[in-house]
Amino acid sequence: MEECISVFDMLKIGVGPSSSHTLGPWRAAERFLSELRSENLLASTEKVQVDLYGSLSLTGKGHATDLALLLGLSGQDPETIPVDEITTITTQIQTQKSIRLGNEKSIPFFPESEIIFNKKFLPFHANGLRFTALINNNTTYQATYYSIGGGFVVKEERINAKKKQVLKCAFPFPIKKATELLAYTLQENKTISEIVFENEKSMRSEDQIHNELLRIWNTMLECMYIGCHSEGILPGGLHVRRRAFDMHQDLIGLSNYNSPQTWLEQIRKTEVKFRQILKWVSCFALAVNEVNASLGRVVTAPTNGSAGVIPAVLMYYLVIENHQAGAKEIKQFLMVAGEIGSIFKKGSTISAAMGGCQAEIGVSSAMAAAALCELMGGSPSQVLIAAEIAMEHHLGLTCDPVGGLVQIPCIERNTMGAIKAINAAELALATDPKNVKVPLDKVVDTMWQTAKDMNSKYKETSEGGLAVAVNMADC
């Protein structure tokens, strides 16, 4: 039976710029500290070294992997850390050459020599990292983790252990493939979001589901709001100018508001012609990913690099399509999106280091298309068609970040993924399911095969494509 992946596994609150290169290593550092505590070794730890491998090494600097490790090892949490304190905390560690391990014990720490960037790849996954703790009795404790995309972190033995362990949760409707999901909707006469809700209720109360889904949405909304009201140059050395601010100023005009929610209400009153809609959707996506690029707080959806697609499409529905929509529709959208994302994670990958950008923007576009289609009245079959259409037209998309930063072409790609999602939903609504030639499961399989066939230099290594054609001097 397949593992159960919750909506809250697919949509996680964290800090940018990358779920696999920032949030994943951060979480791995937290897990390493937890292991040290469980072995009663943290108090006797004298030194820690971290070795990064493969894609984590090749583009780690641009993705702030080293800074995420400093934050994780010092006991900070990505969901709650005040983002304006990140630079202060990391600079202090780098300057003082000392870290307060797990916020419990200070040890000497020299980031330039104790975070080691190894270009070689470990065999299990492209994003490997190994922690080594020197204990005061002159022994060592070592643990190796893999950041597999979307903030998920595993150990290699997970594969064998998974075969022996019973399910970690008991969904009433366990789902691996889209065909299984569709069968449940027919069997139970429910929508996809209703099936997902029943699964989520096996893990937490209805109030918890309600509150957490709205917390996720409010984080997305705040992220768009911050991005639309922040100007200047993004960090990292590419000198990329923020564009959401200027675009937003042109669109919003002289509207008065004082919070993200009143801002949303004011957008509902603006002009809605085709060009304005394109600009608003693009503006929302740009805003999120500019916040992400500046180490701001975003929701991995399913990754940080693709965090702008789902908020932009949901915001489009709220401010353009349905002005009466509220909490009910927001929860419905997020549950459908999360389920579609989990199907791709189980059947393929959501890691650009494994599958290129089709695994990030492609998956997020499919998630958003499916969710929008259900809100627009699509049947479960049409919802799956929307996801298929969106992914079909992202197949083979490479990941080639210039300078190893989640900026060029990553930020703009979120606008494209959002627009494609809206288009895919509309096409699906106009499609009779009995005439469909390409089912979603076939596209998931094809995406995974394409990922395996793709040259490694197009998988988040910055060794091919735009990352080579455009260098720092050009910027």
Find the mean pLDDT for residues 359-382.
98
Q: How high is the pLDDT of residue 163?
A: 45
Percentage above 90 pLDDT, the chain: 88
Q: What is the pLDDT of residues 160-181, one digit of tens each?
A: 444 444 445 689 999 999 999 9
Q: How high is the pLDDT of residue 300?
A: 95
* Widest pairwise Cα distance in the chain: 70
Q: How high is the pLDDT of residue 46?
A: 95
Confidence at 473, pLDDT banded by 50, 70, 90 = low
Find the mean pLDDT for residues 337-361.
96
Does residue 204 or residue 461 have the better pLDDT?
204
Confidence at 157, pLDDT banded by 50, 70, 90 = low
Which residue's entry shows tokens 């937290």?
30
Q: Alpha-carbon dihedral of residues 191, 348, 444, 58, nearest 10 degrees?
A: 120
pTM score over 0.85? yes
Tell me which of 14-23, 90-99, 361-370 is least confident.
Answer: 14-23
Q: What is the pLDDT of residues 179-197, one digit of tens each?
A: 999 999 999 999 999 999 9
Q: How high is the pLDDT of residue 304?
A: 94
Helix ranges restricted to H, 14-164: 24-38, 55-58, 65-73, 86-96, 111-114, 158-164
* Residue type (1 letter), 85: E
Q: Is the pLDDT of residue 97 over 90?
A: yes
Name the residue among 407, 228, 409, 211 with its Cα closest to residue 319.
Answer: 228
The two beta strands, 140-149 and 152-154, are: antiparallel
Q: How high is the pLDDT of residue 334?
A: 98
Average pLDDT across the chain, whole number: 94
Q: How far is 299 from 307, CA to CA, in rounded Å?
A: 6
Helix ranges restricted to H, 229-360: 244-252, 260-267, 274-293, 309-316, 327-347, 352-355
Does residue 379 or residue 159 have the better pLDDT?
379
Q: How high is the pLDDT of residue 62?
A: 84
> H/E element holding 182?
helix 178-188
Which residues lie closer than 8 Å to 30 by C-beta, 6 or more apart?
72, 77
Q: How high is the pLDDT of residue 475?
A: 54
Find the mean pLDDT for residues 202-230.
98
Q: What is the pLDDT of residues 406-439, one digit of tens each?
A: 999 999 999 999 999 999 999 999 999 999 999 9
